[in-house]
Amino acid sequence: MNIIITGASKGFGKAIAEKFSLPNNTLYLCARSESTLKQAVDELQKKNPNTHYKYKCADLSIPKEAIAWGEWVLSQTNHIDILVNNAGRFMPGAIHNELENVLIDMMQTNVYSAYYLTRTILPSMMGKKAGHIFNISSIAALQAYPNGGSYGISKHALLGFSKNLREELKPYNIKVTAVCPGAAYTDSWAASGVKPERIMEANDIAEMIYVASKLSPQAVVEDIIMRPQLGDL
């Protein structure tokens, strides 16, 4: 299988890459930091010598870079089985007083990255009439919360993107799944003081994506909603 994972150097992206690191799979990985991405790939390759890894750094919040990165992948293969749009960023704040450029930043990073990369990859999936797209949204897309600000707006938009894409791609047998996780222990939570056992593990999200990808062609999980057992923080 050929699998694209963005934001793959840490957190959810790295956990998802680990889950799909099976013999003969080829993973196309992207992140903004070359050193962090290379370190992640080296670790994955050491653990999974029979998986093929190809990686290239890009800032997918910039449309031309997202398109160019997608074209780079298609120069390696014309068949993509799974696309995981995981690239994203969290910036806390309130709409009434956050910096003016925060909304632009959140939309570019959390929505435009998925939009332009998906548009670039889709023709190959549509030609094969097969494929599965996972968009990593957030519970912030389902319920507003204090200090969510433009991050919540962007995740609402990404969920809307997923729903529209799902309808458009039904005739092409391409599945679309929106993933809305709550708090999970990644680098962004490491300095928060929250105990790891209070929130989910990144691997929990990876497990659910993997299982959803293994259903029969006639079944799709449209939404994955996950929260810590004790509820949101």
Residue numbers annotated as active site: 151
78: phi then psi, degrees, rounded to nearest 5: -105, 15
CB 140 within 8 A of CB 88: no
The contacts found for 218-225 with CB under 8 angstroms, 24 or more apart, are: 220/166, 220/175, 220/176, 220/177, 221/177, 222/166, 222/176, 222/177, 222/178, 223/177, 223/178, 223/179, 223/180, 224/177, 224/178, 224/179, 224/180, 224/181, 225/139, 225/142, 225/180
Provide the 3-class DSSP secondary structure of residue 179. Answer: strand
Q: Which burial class, exposed, middle or buried, applies to 125 when counting CB atoms under 10 A from its CB (0-12, 13-18, 19+)?
A: buried
| Residue partners of 209: CB distance under 8 A and separation at least 6 | 16, 19, 84, 134, 177, 179, 224
Among 140, 153, 8, residue whose Cα is nearest residue 69: 8
